Structure 1
Amino acid sequence: MLPSQERLVLFSKRKGFSPVRDSIQKDDMDDPLRHGLWNALHVCIWDGNEYSHYSGTFQSSNLYGLFQCYWQNLFKIPLDNMPNYMDSVLTRLRETYYKVEWYEVYDFIEFTAQNCPEELSDSFVSFCNHVLENELSAYRFVGKQLTDITSEEEIESIEEAIKSSTKFTGASEHLKTSLGFLSDRKSPDYRNSIKESISAVESLCKAVSDDPKATLGSALKQIEKSHNLHPAFKKALSNLYGYTNDSGGIRHALLEEDSISYSDAKYMLVSCSAFMNYVLGKVSEKS
């Protein structure tokens, strides 16, 4: 009997070989993300439809003003083109939603958050943020506005570190594995992603210092002497490493906690990638 597909974490995901831009959805939107955001609309907005007890007509719905805003201010088409029945309006909206480009979907959900009935907006924003995090979107609602949580510079930093560290096999593998843990949309492992990020830096520094038994601290001292490593960067990296290794760090107390989030793991991956790029840059200047 074949194992359940839901339980499989395939090689490319474990090793982080999927491109960063495919893992973090910044310039596109896959079907699970699009479906999830539509479900947020369905559960939090459409199911919040209420009619006046007096007339019970479509025009008395608490969503009628939102639909008019769609036609007038978002789609910019004549209001007399809007159907006269709720089901017909939702059918038209669904057809449009699944035809438009990924960035227009974000326009649609942001516009909805800003123009829906006030009593529905908080649950809608919360539902959307849950979907955006689960599907590794590069965006989140802050208030009622979508903002970048993963910038182009951060993505480029991760990509550059993976590419530039290829000749340092251990460092490259740790970084790829960190990305794999972070980008597994079914069962992300933020704790191990953080551990792999700092292990990538540790592995690189050992390789560059040509001392496989060195601690990160001693390796940094050697790199500082031979490659003019700026003391401030050395101190920052040492502090970062200390955070993950002291009695209150990731490798100790947090192993038994559930408080580590996507933001924590992404911060460590981006920070460690930046440090690696800096060290690799200093090495290339000497070669």
Structure 2
Amino acid sequence: MANDSDDPYFDRKQLTFEQAEGIEPLPTQLALHEVSPHLRAALWEVVRDSLLNSTITGINMRVVSKPWLEVLRVMHVERHHRLTEFSELHSFHQKELRRIFEVGNSHAIYGLLQWLLRFPPPPISARIINNTLLRCRSSYRVLGDGRTIIPLASLEEVATLDRAFADLAATEFHGARAHLRKAAECLTEGATADSIRESIHAVESVARILGGKTSLAGALQTLKSKHGLHPGLEQGFKSIYGFTSDEKGIRHPLLDDGTAKVDEADAMLMIGACASFVSYLINKTKP
């Protein structure tokens, strides 16, 4: 019976059709202009609770009070440009705001949040909003000024990862693509050490296939001699590889106790660097 290594389609058999064809999910931290159902619900909970704390009970009805009352009055005219009479009913405004989080696109949701953060004084807490974005692995964060929402990544970084998945479409690279996909999934889940490990494995897999060696160092040496891999790039990646060997748990998943000193920023840097290096290696060695 043939070994798994003798079957050129072994890795493809482990993947779904979408995965094998390169239709890969981005980690949510790189998914610009997207708002997950979890994030929608969590952000709405923050706004809903703040609005609820700014209401008073009248005769058979609940009405909005300060600070939200002034916020909504200004929003009615300056943001929504409405000519209708302003309502103070809590139920009306709760329904209006909830709809934005239920069906609004990312621009509507983040635009509203930033507008609220910039209202003097803001009716919602920048710290709570930022913690919610962080907890839900959003692709956006609140800047230190507490008034501005910014993307974690650039469009160029997103394009780099997309390009790497496309470059890994060939049959022999399905194992590497599986590692890169797993790195993206781990980043979404907040498993930063695992994400870094999988990013490195993707490069290892490609380098070994192209260099014909069992070790990354040997593969890089072969690529340098046969394809003109720049010594600086070789040493640079060896240095990154050394970093992942130094931090506890990164290179040895069975021994990992979750205490590796790496965070989301480290994992995002590594997946981007490894995606770029994968594309570079593949295109550098093309005939």
Answer yes or no: same fold by TM over 0.5. yes
1:100 paired with 2:101, answer no
Equivalences for residues 64-103 of structure 1 within 5 A: 64-78=69-83, 81-103=85-107
Q: In structure 2, which of residues 184, 189, 192 is the aligned counterpart of residue 190 of structure 1?
A: 192
Match of 2:285, SS state, is helix
Shift of 1:74: 1.9
Q: Which has the higher helix share?
A: 1
1:230 paired with 2:230, answer yes
Whole-Å separation in 2 of the counterparts to 1:225 and 1:258:
35
Mind listing any 5+ residue stretches in structure 2 that lack a counterpart? 1-14, 57-61
Match of 1:181, SS state, is helix
Whole-Å separation in 2 of the counterparts to 1:69 and 1:277:
51
Match of 1:20, SS state, is coil
Equivalences for residues 42-191 of structure 1 within 5 A: 42-43=48-49, 45-49=50-54, 61-78=66-83, 81-115=85-119, 117-118=121-122, 121=124, 124-142=125-143, 143-166=146-169, 167-184=172-189, 188-191=190-193
Whole-Å separation in 2 of the counterparts to 1:90 and 1:248:
48
TM-score by length of 1: 0.77
Cα-to-partner distance string for 1:172-208 (whole Å, 9 max, x where unaligned): 2211221222234xxx422111111111111211111
CA contact 1:36–1:131 (8 Å) conserved in 2: yes
- Percent identity, please: 22
Shift of 1:66: 1.3
Match of 1:6 in 2: none
Q: In structure 2, which of residues 21, 25, 28 is the aligned counterpart of residue 20 of structure 1?
A: 25
Equivalences for residues 198-237 of structure 1 within 5 A: 198-211=200-213, 213=214, 215-237=215-237
Q: Which amino acid aligns with 2:167?
A: S
1:33 paired with 2:39, answer yes
Whole-Å separation in 2 of the counterparts to 1:245 and 1:22:
24
Change (3 A) 1:21 1:73: farther
Shift of 1:76: 2.2
CA contact 2:24–2:165 (8 Å) conserved in 1: no
CA contact 2:161–2:275 (8 Å) conserved in 1: yes
Shift of 1:111: 0.8
Moved more, 265-274 or 125-134: 125-134
Whole-Å separation in 2 of the counterparts to 1:182 and 1:59:
40
Moved more, 58-67 or 250-259: 250-259
Cα-to-partner distance string for 1:59-90 (whole Å, 9 max, x where unaligned): 86222221123123321224x63203334333
The count of aligned residue pairs is 258
Whole-Å separation in 1 of the counterparts to 2:132 and 2:95:
23
Shift of 1:258: 6.3
Moved more, 32-41 or 192-201: 32-41
Q: Which amino acid aligns with 2:210?
A: V
CA contact 1:133–1:262 (8 Å) conserved in 2: no
Superposed CA RMSD in Å reads 3.0
Match of 2:59 in 1: none
TM-score by length of 2: 0.77
Match of 2:244 in 1: 244
Shift of 1:256: 4.4
